């Protein structure tokens, strides 16, 4: 039987009182997010993929290479993975340099096409000044960067990250996130990223696996899951969509970038960006309001024609509408949250054409180019 | 003030020899045992741990008695001695080494086990995800991280062997150059009213013990600072 390219994982079993029955497929490129509330089994799934936990029956294959099935089980050290734990877990008795090289034994890291090179990792993660230090004298963010570098230098075919930012405070998180985004941009390495923080997921993830109580409830491209009325993401208070956009134009005089998405165009305040670069936009449902007529004069620059595709209640007094950009509604998806009162006053309903007024659009720093 | 009696050095040399050999053997045997006790999930492992710990509470005479039986002509020790034409391992240096290994085992196994347990699963898991085989992870991660435990184990194992008396008396007897170790020699001097010689050895033991324990505490304090 031909194994499908990409990552296939499915595990069933009980650990104590917790029962897990989770299976998903993910592309062999880009970042796959494993998202769900605390205790839903995300970390267990990741540990199963790494071979650190053994569940029967289980199946795991990466790029056609079977790591576990009914008959076979590869031990963790026989799987070409990199694993970044919640806490950096550096070896305290080794210097940063020797931590980095621990998993790189037998690999000539100085050269090699397609391999992850030492200099590259040091550059990418900003580790040059840390090499001779002891892990004990590093800050939390520095430690986690070293841990990521150490995992990368073991030349993995799959990088597993278990909430690598959750043990860090807000500021340190913001220090490490850009490194993860650059990683995403530069390396072709597939990543499975466990998180319970939607803000991280929206910035980093291409493909999303939603988990709940030990089960996978949905799996698909991030945008598709964000705008699925049947899933909890769209009903959440902080519901948002991530849009893949291309930079069309940069207006240096006003510091504004114009970006096109399917069926529309956004103008976003941004630091200078290259024309033609792919970028990711994030639009919160709460930042989108609806109008029946095109507003004539307004400080809201992003007003786009769209069609209401679906409607779902967000609590008792609010409604979240799924919009498709362009007059026919076949462009990129947006979410809008409006009060039920406005909804009824404007006589809004599924299928009608409206104008979406977008009060705020965030340009996610990390580009989205490597995930095809 | 006369010089030291010439035969006073013999028990000292013999004691150091015995303690050194015992310590090396204990580290070789105790390390895998401590690792197993720290990592195994077998339900009966605490029974094994208890057996290892028995010499802590048993009167040395009890331990010595059973060792005497085991080392004697009708025990496994006698059979072992038969391999090179002997009749018994009791009342021999080899017998003392075997006895000391049992007697000092808990003092070596416990600190190493505690050190292994303090490391936890995580560093070993990290090593495995970095492609280290269990053997390599053990030598490059577990052993270096458990170093303070090994230091304590070696020092306590050595000094405890130096200080043993009851077991030696039971299985070693008092053969000069073979089984007459320090503690027995002191006893011997007292029996024969050679108080000066007994005092020299006894005072030496006090100083030795003081220096060893102080040095160990200081080294560990420094290691703790460097490690923390």
Give the whole-angstrom CA distance, residue B37 versus residue B146.
Answer: 14
**pTM attached to this predicted model:** 0.85
Show which residues on chain B lie within 8 Å of chain A, measured between beta carbons: 122-123, 125-134, 137, 140-141, 144-145, 147, 227-228
Best of B125, B130, B138 to disrupt the A interface (most A CBs within 10 Å) is B130
Query: How remote is the C-alpha of A301 from its chain's centroid?
Result: 28
Which percentage of chain A shows pLDDT scores above 90? 37
Chain-chain contact of B126 with A85 (C-beta, under 8 angstroms): yes
Omega into B16 within 30° of 0, i.e. cis? no
Name which of B131, B141, B144 is nearest A77 (Cβ-Cβ).
Answer: B131
Lowest mean pLDDT of A82-86, A249-253, A293-297, B45-49, name the range.
A293-297
Please list the ranges in chain B whose pLDDT falls under 70. Answer: 1-4, 6, 224-228
pLDDT: which is higher, A265 or A365: A265
DSSP string, chain B: -----GGGHHHHHHHHHHHHHHHHHHHHHHHHHHHHHHH---TTHHHHHHHHHGGGTS-HHHHHHHHHHHHSTTSHHHHHHHTTT-S-STTSHHHHHHHHHHHHHHHHHHHHHHHHHHH-SHHHHHHHHTT--HHHHIIIIIHHHTHHHHHHHHHHHHHHHHT--HHHHHHTTT-TTTT--HHHHHHHHHHTT-HHHHHHHHHHHHHHHHHHHHHHHHHHHHHHHHH-
Best of A90, A99, A103, A156 to disrupt the B interface (most B CBs within 10 Å) is A103
Residue B108: the pLDDT is: 96
Chain-chain contact of A93 with B145 (C-beta, under 8 angstroms): yes
Q: Tell whether the model's pLDDT for residue A371 goes beyond 50.
A: no
Domain B7-38+57-227 superfamily per CATH: MetI-like (1.10.3720.10)
What residues of chain A lie within 8 A of the CB of B132, using their CB? Answer: 77, 102-103
What would the mean pLDDT of A350-366 be, rounded to a whole number? 84
Give the whole-angstrom CA distance, residue B129 versus residue A75.
Answer: 9
Contact between residue A344 and residue A324 where contact means Cβ atoms under 8 Å apart: no
What residues of chain A lie within 8 A of the CB of B137, using their CB? Answer: 77
Residue B202: the pLDDT is: 92
CATH no. for A7-224 = 3.40.50.300
Burial (CB count <10 Å: 0-12, 13-18, 19+), residue A156 = buried
Residue B52: the pLDDT is: 93
Residue A4: the pLDDT is: 54
Lowest mean pLDDT of A239-243, A361-365, B164-168, name the range.
A361-365
Residue B88: the pLDDT is: 82
Lowest mean pLDDT of A211-220, A226-235, A255-264, name the range.
A226-235
Residue A3: the pLDDT is: 46
Residue A279: the pLDDT is: 86
Task: Name the residue ranges covered by the structural domains of chain B.
Answer: 7-38+57-227
Query: ipTM beyond 0.95?
Result: no
Chain-chain contact of B130 with A50 (C-beta, under 8 angstroms): no
Give the whole-angstrom CA distance, residue A121 versus residue A126.
Answer: 8
Give the whole-angstrom CA distance, residue A80 versus residue A77.
Answer: 8
Q: Tell whether the model's pLDDT for residue A283 goes beyond 50.
A: yes
Chain-chain contact of B145 with A76 (C-beta, under 8 angstroms): no
Best of B119, B124, B131 to disrupt the A interface (most A CBs within 10 Å) is B131
Residue A176: the pLDDT is: 82
Task: Name the residue ranges covered by the structural domains of chain A.
Answer: 7-224, 240-364
Encode pLDDT of A41-55 as tens digits: 899 999 999 999 998
Token representation of residue A309: 């595709």
Chain-chain contact of B131 with A136 (C-beta, under 8 angstroms): no
pLDDT band at A210 (very low <50, low <70, confident <90, very high): very high
Encode pLDDT of B159-206 as tens digits: 999 988 888 888 887 888 888 888 888 988 999 998 998 999 999 999
What residues of chain B lie within 8 A of the CB of A136, using their CB? Answer: 227-228
What would the mean pLDDT of A211-239 be, rounded to a whole number? 87
Residue B102: the pLDDT is: 93
pLDDT band at A108 (very low <50, low <70, confident <90, very high): low
A240-364 CATH choice from 2.40.50.100, 3.50.50.60, 2.40.160.20, 3.40.190.10: 2.40.50.100
Q: Tell whether the model's pLDDT for residue A2 goes beyond 50.
A: no
Name which of A76, A91, A93 is nearest B128 (Cβ-Cβ).
Answer: A76
């Amino acid at each position: 039987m031909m194994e499908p390219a990409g990552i296939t994982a499915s595990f069933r079993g009980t650990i104590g009182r917790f029962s897990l029955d989770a299976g998903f497929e993910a592309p062999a490129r880009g970042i796959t997010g494993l998202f769900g509330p605390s205790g839903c089994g995300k970390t267990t799934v990741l540990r199963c993929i790494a071979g650190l936990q053994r569940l029967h029956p289980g199946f795991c294959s990466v790029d056609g290479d079977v790591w576990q099935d009914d008959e076979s089980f590869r031990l963790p050290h026989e799987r070409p993975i990199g694993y970044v734990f919640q806490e950096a877990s550096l070896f305290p008795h080794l210097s940063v340099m020797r931590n980095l090289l621990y998993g790189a034994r037998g690999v000539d890291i100085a050269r090699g096409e397609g391999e992850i090179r030492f200099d590259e990792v040091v550059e990418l993660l900003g580790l040059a000044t840390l090499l001779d230090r002891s892990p004990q004298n590093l800050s939390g963010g520095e430690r986690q960067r070293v841990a990521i570098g150490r995992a990368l230098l073991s030349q993995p075919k799959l990088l597993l990250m278990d909430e690598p930012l959750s043990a860090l405070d807000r500021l340190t998180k913001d220090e490490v996130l850009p490194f993860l985004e650059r990683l995403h941009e530069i390396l072709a390495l597939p990543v499975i990223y466990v998180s319970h923080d939607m803000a991280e997921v929206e910035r980093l993830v291409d493909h999303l696996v939603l988990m709940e109580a030990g089960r996978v409830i949905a799996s698909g491209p991030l945008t598709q899951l964000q705008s699925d009325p049947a899933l909890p993401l769209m009903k959440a208070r902080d519901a948002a969509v991530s849009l893949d956009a291309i930079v069309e134009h940069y207006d240096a005089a006003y510091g504004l970038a114009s970006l096109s998405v399917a069926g529309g165009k956004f103008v976003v305040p941004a630091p200078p960006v290259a024309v033609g670069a792919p970028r990711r936009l994030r639009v919160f449902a709460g930042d989108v309001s609806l109008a029946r007529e095109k507003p004539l004069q307004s400080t809201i620059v992003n007003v786009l024609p769209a069609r209401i595709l679906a409607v779902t209640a967000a609590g008792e007094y609010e409604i979240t509408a799924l919009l498709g950009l362009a007059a026919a509604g076949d462009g990129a998806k947006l979410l809008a949250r409006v009060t039920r009162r406005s909804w009824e006053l404007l006589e809004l309903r599924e299928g009608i054409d409206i104008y979406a007024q977008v009060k705020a659009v965030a340009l996610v720093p990390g580009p989205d180019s490597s995930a095809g | 003030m006369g010089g030291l009696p010439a035969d006073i050095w013999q028990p000292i040399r013999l004691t150091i020899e015995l303690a050194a050999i015992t310590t090396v053997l204990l580290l070789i045997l105790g390390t895998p045992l401590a690792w197993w006790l720290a990592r195994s999930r077998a339900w009966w492992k605490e029974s094994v741990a208890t057996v290892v710990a028995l010499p802590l509470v048993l009167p040395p005479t009890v331990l010595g008695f059973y060792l005497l039986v085991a080392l004697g002509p009708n025990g496994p020790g006698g059979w072992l001695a038969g391999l090179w034409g002997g009749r018994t391992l009791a009342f021999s240096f080899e017998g003392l080494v075997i006895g000391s290994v049992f007697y000092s085992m808990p003092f070596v196994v416990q600190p190493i086990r505690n050190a292994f347990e303090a490391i936890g699963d995580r560093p070993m898991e990290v090593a495995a995800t970095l492609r280290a085989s269990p053997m390599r992870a053990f030598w490059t991660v577990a052993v270096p991280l458990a170093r303070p435990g090994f230091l304590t184990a070696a020092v306590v194992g050595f000094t405890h062997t130096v200080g043993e008396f009851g077991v030696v008396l039971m299985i070693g007897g008092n053969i000069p150059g073979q089984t007459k170790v320090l503690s027995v020699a002191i006893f011997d001097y007292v029996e024969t009213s050679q108080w000066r010689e007994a005092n020299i050895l006894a005072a030496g033991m006090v100083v030795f013990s003081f220096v060893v324990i102080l040095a160990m505490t200081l080294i560990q304090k420094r290691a703790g600072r460097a490690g923390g």
